[in-house]
Amino acid sequence: MIKNITPRSRLIILRNLIYHNIVFKVILLILNPILLINKIKNYKKDKYKVSKINWGLRTDQLGKHGVISSDTPPEDFDYVTKLQKKILFSNLKRFVSKKEKKILDYGCGSGRFTEALAKISYKANVLGVDPEKKLIDLAKPKKNVKYIVLKNLNQIKSKFDIIFISNVLGGIEIKNLYKLNKFLISKLKKNGILFLSEHISDKKNIESEVLKGWAFRDDDFYLNLFKKINLRKVDEYSYNGYRTSIYVGKTKEKVLKNLKKPLKYRK
């Protein structure tokens, strides 16, 4: 059964009902003819134009809260993060030996999960990397938790026992992912774990994808992207209408054998 993180605020539920309602969207366009005309005029041009999230601007506007969906009210940020952490880490714990020494939080944002990663193993050192300086500035370094602003992948010098990625790849164009996957695999030590969680949908039109802020790809896309390390889906949860898959890949097949057992989860 798919786990569900229920939004606490009534406002958010009401807002979602309205926002996700197609009739509402059409009414908005009819009420605003200029918007409608511009939409029609720019339709062809915009259709093939890649748009990426400006994380700097988003951080200016929303602070640390910007790393989760913008329809989450700030007062729900800690509540949602706590539940996500519970789901992610209860899965991750199934695969760690507690002897892991080096962990990479790739696209760590403001470090929501970075510190907790240091506690997953007895002697872990964690490196959080993110291209957005404004988010890294919000993260809190500790003795065994370091952060760097990632300008170039070459800055990541060592290999890791665990590479943790939480909702990062959805914001990256496919052509770049086909290079990034090789890089990340090359940064895994022997028997290293890739732990990935990404928003998903059942959409299949991957090849013609034009990135519009965030891509909700299907499970097969991510499974194929990390086929070399036998990526498997281990769990799924939903929050506020967004589905998120959790995957684990390991350079050695053996450990992944009993993945099919469903994981019990209590709030």
Ligand X SMILES: C[S@@+](CC[C@H](N)C(=O)[O-])C[C@H]1O[C@@H](n2cnc3c(N)ncnc32)[C@H](O)[C@@H]1O
Which positions touch ligand X (CB under 6 A)? Answer: 55, 67, 106-109, 112, 130-132, 135, 150, 166-168, 171-172
Identify which of residues 58 and 159 has a Cβ nearer to ligand X in the complex: 58
**What minimum distance in Å lies between the beta carbon of 183 and ligand X?**
10
**What minimum distance in Å lies between the beta carbon of 131 and ligand X?**
5
Strands (E), the chain: 3-5, 51-52, 102-106, 125-130, 145-149, 160-166, 188-200, 212-213, 232-239, 242-250
DSSP letters spanning 23-43: HHHHHHHHH-HHHHHHHHHHH
**What minimum distance in Å lies between the beta carbon of 132 and ligand X?**
4
Identify which of residues 100 and 130 has a Cβ nearer to ligand X in the complex: 130
Identify which of residues 121 and 167 has a Cβ nearer to ligand X in the complex: 167
**What minimum distance in Å lies between the beta carbon of 108 and ligand X?**
5
Phi/psi class of residue 203: alpha, beta or left (left: φ > 0; alpha: ψ in -120 to 50)? beta
Give the DSSP H/E element, type plus range, for residue 92.
Answer: helix 77-92
**Residue written as tokens 């907790």?**
116
**What minimum distance in Å lies between the beta carbon of 231 and ligand X?**
18
Identify which of residues 95 and 106 has a Cβ nearer to ligand X in the complex: 106
Identify which of residues 117 and 234 has a Cβ nearer to ligand X in the complex: 117
Identify which of residues 130 and 235 has a Cβ nearer to ligand X in the complex: 130
**What minimum distance in Å lies between the beta carbon of 236 and ligand X?**
16
Q: Where are the alpha helices (DSSP H) in 93-172?
A: 114-118, 133-136
221/199 Cα distance (integer angstroms)? 12
**What minimum distance in Å lies between the beta carbon of 159 and ligand X?**
18
Token pair, residue 104, equals 């990479």
159/194 Cα distance (integer angstroms)? 12
Identify which of residues 36 and 79 has a Cβ nearer to ligand X in the complex: 79
Task: Give the residue nearest to ligand X (CB).
Answer: 109
22/144 Cα distance (integer angstroms)? 48
169/180 Cα distance (integer angstroms)? 9
